[in-house]
Amino acid sequence: MEFKFIMPSSFHRYISLILCMLAVSCTGDSSENTPTSSEEGIPAPTTLAYTLLESFPHDTAAFTQGLELLNGKLLESTGLSEKSTLRLVDIQSGKVEKSVRLSNEIFAEGLTVLNDTIYQLSWQNHLVFLYDAKTLKPMGALPWTGDGWGITNDGSNIYISDGSDKLYVVEPGTLKLKSVIGVRDQFGPVNNLNELEMVDGFIYANRWQYEYIMKIDPRSGIVIGLLPLQDFLQKNSKKDLTYLTKQGSSIADAGAVLNGIAYDKEKRIFYVTGKLWPEVFALQLQ
């Protein structure tokens, strides 16, 4: 005996509807089905205009990794193995007033000051060094699992970059991880995040090997502004730059790239410099 299962007409209509929907989704306009940057709601960053106010002397042997304003002075972290330091510098003269030499195996990176404590990163040594902000007296170190590139704070939390597109939000005093921010622009993730500075709730960041400073909204991770500084040193320096242009000692070969952002909240002035640069420049955003 042969049995036949007959589907109700309503079920046929349901199957037909499903097949029709699948056909539309497969044959529809690809522009309506492929995500685009505009659909993701990420516009191109705004270009940030600035005025160059003046420049100040800077130690050309300083491989600048971090820069901060502390009581009217520049607090600077310099890198390279066997040469890394933490130093307090007079802005006007460029004179180093205090300096702490790190051990030879340490390659120092960015720094920040929070609650009278200086936090200084190391690159691949997996340590963050602590100092008394009033005396620069060493206060020990905390372990950090990743690379250290840039560091800043918002008064409550510390933000650390590791050269990727990530910013790690950690607790002061412990470096316990609280959250991770993915930084992106209209093209996608933005890597090489380096020296950081928090200004009015936004993070300004050097991007290693790129001649601009990014303005990042830490709530979304989106790059909302770019401060263009292409060939800035060559265009604005008053110093002899031949030490960076000799054969085998170009700015790129020497690693003398843009790096270092400090901010004066009262005067609303940015201080920017680079590794091995002869000057620190004072800028005011328009």
Sequence-separated (6 or more) residues with CB below 8 Å from residue 80:
63, 107
Strand partners, 118: 113, 131
Sequence-ordered list of residues with C-beta below 8 angstroms from that of 220, at least 6 positions apart, any chain:
none
**Beta-bridge partners for 141:** 129
C-alpha span between 217 and 97 (Å, rounded): 35
Residue 152 three-state SS: strand
Q: Is 160 helix (H, G, I), strand (E, B) or coil?
A: strand
Collapsing DSSP to helix, strand or coil, 277 comes out as: coil
- 50-57, strands of its sheet edge to edge: 50-57, 279-285, 269-274, 258-264
* pTM for the predicted model, two decimal places: 0.84
What would the two tokens of residue 179 be? 């959250």
DSSP β-ladder status, 96-101 and 85-89: antiparallel
Give the angle 279-165-274 at the CA atoms, nearest 5°: 5
Q: Which long-range contacts (CB under 8 A, 24 or more apart) does 199-205 make?
A: 199/263, 199/270, 201/154, 203/152, 203/159, 203/167, 204/261, 204/263, 204/270, 205/150, 205/161, 205/261
Tens digits of pLDDT across the chain (286 residues) = 333 333 443 334 433 433 333 333 333 333 333 333 443 789 999 999 999 999 999 999 999 999 999 999 999 999 999 999 999 999 999 999 999 999 999 999 999 999 999 999 999 999 999 999 999 999 999 999 999 999 999 999 999 999 999 999 999 999 999 999 999 999 999 999 999 999 999 999 999 999 999 999 999 999 999 999 999 999 999 999 988 877 655 555 668 999 999 999 999 999 999 999 999 999 999 8
Confidence at residue 222, expressed as pLDDT on a 0 to 100 scale = 98
Q: Which domains does the chain have, with CATH numbers?
A: 61-229+258-285 (2.130.10.10)
CB contact at 8 A, 165 and 191: yes
Gap between the Cα atoms of 160 and 196, Å rounded = 8
